[in-house]
Amino acid sequence: MKKLIVILLISMVAFPSCAQKKDKDKDEATSTYYLIRHAEKDRSDESNRNPNLKDEGLQRAENWAKHFEDIKFDAVYSTDYNRTKQTAMPTATANNVNLQFYNPSNINFEEFLAKTKGQTVLIVGHSNTTPMFTNGLLGEKKYEDMSDDDNSRLFKVIIAKNKKTSEVSVVE
């Protein structure tokens, strides 16, 4: 009987500390965000507000998936436009995750950061929304809009222990 009481007491002390450790691990978790603009779109009809990617863009979307092949994404986000969805899909498919949509004019960055804490996330947007989203993650206006023909820039934001860093590279 004494052994049972001792076991119960140890369990009561040990299991709450495990839960506290799990909460602490989540608080200290590193979040990594990769942000890209959609690939080359079909510009043959200037009145089309939702064009598809042209062949060069479809190839770039596949190249992004190859570029990211050593990264395990927990989530892939895209605006709800043909060109962004087509850019994001090869990477989402390679990571066996569903494409999630965001509205660039209605983002609550605190909620997004909380939802994706500790995750590795790809975000596909546009020449104006990709730098804007990067700035929102950082909490500062660091990056300006991209030129409308820039389809190769990669923004990376890392958030760890309340420290935020970013870098930009070009991936051809």
Between 172 and 152, the more confident residue is: 152
Distance CA 15, CA 7 (A): 12
Which domains, from first to last, does the chain contain? 29-170 (3.40.50.1240)
Does 139 have pLDDT greater than 50?
yes
pLDDT digit string (tens) for 145-170?
999 999 999 999 999 998 999 999 99
What pLDDT, on a 0 to 100 scale, did the predictor assign at position 50?
98
Query: 77 and 133 in contact (C-beta within 8 Å)?
Result: no
Please state, for a pLDDT cut of 90, what percent of the chain lies above it: 82
**Dihedral (CA of 85, 91, 93, 96) sign:** negative
pLDDT digit string (tens) for 103-130?
999 999 999 999 999 999 999 999 999 9
| 3 state SS of 5 | helix
Side chain identity, residue 7: I
Does 3 have pLDDT greater than 70?
no
Average pLDDT over residues 131-136: 98
Cα R_g (the chain), whole angstroms: 21
Average pLDDT, the chain: 90
Name the nearest CA neighbour of 96 among 74, 118, 115, 81.
74
Those residues whose C-beta lies under 8 Å from the C-beta of residue 57, and which sit 6 or more positions away, are: 38, 39, 40, 41, 42, 83, 86, 87, 151
Tokens (6 digits) for 110: 């605190």
